[in-house]
A and B are shown apart, each in its own frame.
Chain A
Amino acid sequence: MTGAVDRHAGTIGVVAFVLIWELAARLVWRDPGVLPAPTQALAEAWTVLTWDVLLGHVGISLFRILAGFSIAAVLGMALGLACGWFRGLSLALRPLVELLRPIPPLAWIPIAIVWFGLGEPSKIFVIALGAFFPIFTNAYRGITMVSPVLFRAARTMDVDGLRLLWRVAVPAAMPDMATGLRVGFGLSFGILVAAELIAAERGMGHLIMEARQLGHLGVSIFGILLIGVVSMLADHQLGAAIRRTVGRWARV
Chain B
Amino acid sequence: MGRRLHHWLPLLVPTLVFVVLLGSWEWAVAQGWLRRLLFPPPTKLFASAVELARDGVPLGKTLLDHLLITIARIFGGFAAAVALAIPLGLVIGASPFLDRMMAPIVGFCRSVATLSLLPLALVWFGIGEASKIFLIGYGCFWVMLSNVIAAMRLVDPVLLRAARTMDTKPLRTFTHVVLPAALPRIAAGARIALGVGFMVIVGAEMIGTTMGLGALIMEARTFYRTDVTMVGMVTIGLLGLAISLSLSQLERRLMPWMPAHSGAGP
Contact = CB atoms under 8 A, between A and B. Distances in A.
Interface of A: 6, 9-10, 12-14, 16-17, 33-34, 88, 91-92, 94-96, 99-100, 102-111, 113-115, 183, 186-187, 189-190, 192-194, 197-198, 204-205, 208-209, 211-212, 217, 220-221, 223-225, 227-228, 231-232, 235
Given A228-B108, A232-B108, A106 B206 contact: yes
A110 B17 CA distance: 26
B97 interface: yes
Contacts of A107: 202, 213-214, 217, 232-233, 236-237
Contact of B220 (A94, A110, A183): A110
B240 A104 contact: yes
Given A103-B233, A103-B237, A104-B240, A223 B14 contact: no
Given A106-B203, A110-B229, A14 B112 contact: no
Given A186-B111, A231-B113, 15 more contacts: A92-B13, A95-B17, A104-B237, A114-B37, A189-B111, A190-B199, A197-B203, A198-B206, A208-B119, A212-B122, A217-B119, A224-B112, A224-B117, A225-B112, A231-B111
Given A107-B233, A114-B221, A220 B14 contact: no
A199 to B, nearest CB: 9
A220 B113 contact: no
Contacts of B234: 103
Nearest to A5: B97
A228 B138 CA distance: 14
Nearest to B226: A114
B141 interface: no
Nearest to B244: A102
Contact of B14 (A92, A103, A104, A190): A92
B101 interface: yes
Contacts of A186: 111, 266
B230 interface: yes
B104 interface: yes
Interface residues of B, number: 58
A194 B116 CA distance: 7
B262 to A, nearest CB: 14
Contacts of B213: 107
Interface of B: 9-10, 13-14, 17-18, 21, 37-38, 97, 100-105, 107-109, 111-120, 122-124, 198-199, 202-203, 206-207, 213-214, 217-218, 220-221, 226, 229-230, 232-234, 236-238, 240-241, 244, 265-266
B241 A34 contact: no
Q: Is the interface of B mostly helix, strand, loop or mixed?
A: helix
Contacts of A227: 112-113, 116
A102 B206 contact: no
B265 A183 contact: yes
Contacts of A95: 14, 17-18
Contacts, number: 161
B240 A109 contact: no
A34 B189 CA distance: 32
B114 A91 contact: no
A12 to B, nearest CB: 6
Nearest to A103: B237
Nearest to B199: A104
Contacts of A103: 233-234, 236-237, 240
28 contacts: A9-B97, A10-B101, A10-B103, A10-B104, A33-B123, A96-B18, A103-B237, A104-B237, A106-B214, A107-B213, A107-B217, A111-B217, A111-B226, A183-B265, A186-B111, A190-B199, A192-B113, A194-B206, A197-B207, A198-B203, A205-B116, A212-B122, A220-B120, A221-B120, A224-B113, A228-B113, A231-B111, A231-B113
A205 to B, nearest CB: 7
Contacts of B103: 10, 13
A100 B21 CA distance: 14
A113 B198 CA distance: 21
Given A107-B236, A113-B221, A224-B112, A197 B97 contact: no
Contacts of A198: 203, 206-207, 218
